[in-house]
């Protein structure tokens, strides 16, 4: 019998996206959007490369998923993202009506939870999946950045 994929499996895919951001000199945040155990969209931070403050991993993934599905609503979809979404991304997730958000590391300064940003009432949010791995990647990035400056 084939076992369905679990949250850890898809968060590892998001971490691969975060590594791609790291390799490009971007803050290492990655995201994937899944429907029916299939990754339909991927994204990672591109704010520096695109010179665009809105080019967060979640925004890239939301756009790709909407294009894949042919509509703006992400019903029955799950976003896996390595860092808790910020207010901007939470707002976009609200409007997309995504069914579920799973994040790795908390963002105690800019994250949507501490800032009381609302997601859509039907959206479920869970955190802490591979949080240590996501946090370590972020720490490694900022240590590297500080040592270069």
* pLDDT tens readout for residues 79-118: 999 999 999 999 999 999 999 999 999 999 999 999 999 9
**Mean pLDDT of the chain, nearest integer:** 95
CA distance 107 to 111: 5
Tally of residues, the chain:
149
Evaluate whether residue 1 is within a structural domain.
no
**pLDDT given for residue 125 in this prediction:** 96
Evaluate whether residue 131 is within a structural domain.
yes
To the query of whether residue 58 is one of the catalytic residues in this protein, the response is: yes
Residue 61: CATH number of its domain: 3.40.140.10
Give the mean pLDDT of 4-21: 95
Domain total in the chain: 1
Annotated binding-site ranges:
56, 86, 89
Give the mean pLDDT of 135-141: 97
- pLDDT tier for residue 3 given thresholds of 50, 70 and 90: low
Task: Kindly give, in sequence order, each residue whose CB lies less than 8 Å from that of residue 96, ignoring residues fewer than 6 positions away.
Answer: 62, 65, 66, 72, 73, 74, 120
Q: What are the φ/ψ torsions at residue 91 (nearest 5 degrees)?
A: -65, -45
Which of these is catalytic: 58, 126, 132, 136? 58
Annotated binding-site ranges for Zn(2+):
56, 86, 89
**pLDDT given for residue 149 in this prediction:** 61
Contact (CB, 8 A) for 96 and 119: no
Evaluate whether residue 40 is within a structural domain.
yes
Give the pair of three-digit tokens for residue 10.
């898809």
Q: What percent of the chain stands above pLDDT 90?
A: 92
* pLDDT tens readout for residues 47-74: 999 999 999 999 999 999 999 999 999 9
Sheet containing 30-35, strands listed edge to edge, beginning at the edge strand earlier in sequence: 38-44, 30-35, 78-83, 100-105, 124-126
Token pair 């009381």 is found at 116
Instruction: Provide the residue range defining the domain that includes 106.
Output: 7-141
Evaluate whether residue 116 is within a structural domain.
yes
CA distance 65 to 79: 10
Evaluate whether residue 149 is within a structural domain.
no
Contact (CB, 8 A) for 88 and 54: yes
Chain-centre distance of CA 69, in angstroms? 18
Evaluate whether residue 127 is within a structural domain.
yes
- The total of other beta-carbon atoms located within 10 Å of residue 123's CB is 19
């Amino acid at each position: 019998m084939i076992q369905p994929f679990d949250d850890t499996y898809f968060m590892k895919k998001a971490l691969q996206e975060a590594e791609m951001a790291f390799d490009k000199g971007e803050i290492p945040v990655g995201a994937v959007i899944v429907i029916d155990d299939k990754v339909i969209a991927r994204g990672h931070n591109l704010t520096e490369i695109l010179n665009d403050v809105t080019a967060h991993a979640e925004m890239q993934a939301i756009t790709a998923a909407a294009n894949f599905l042919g509509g703006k609503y992400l019903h029955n979809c799950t976003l896996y993202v390595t860092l808790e979404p910020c207010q901007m991304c939470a707002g976009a997730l609200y409007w997309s009506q995504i069914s579920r958000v799973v994040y790795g590391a908390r963002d105690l300064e800019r994250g949507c939870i501490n800032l009381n940003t609302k997601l859509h009432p039907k959206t479920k949010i869970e955190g802490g999946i591979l949080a240590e791995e996501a946090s370590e990647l972020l720490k490694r990035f900022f240590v590297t950045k500080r040592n270069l400056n």
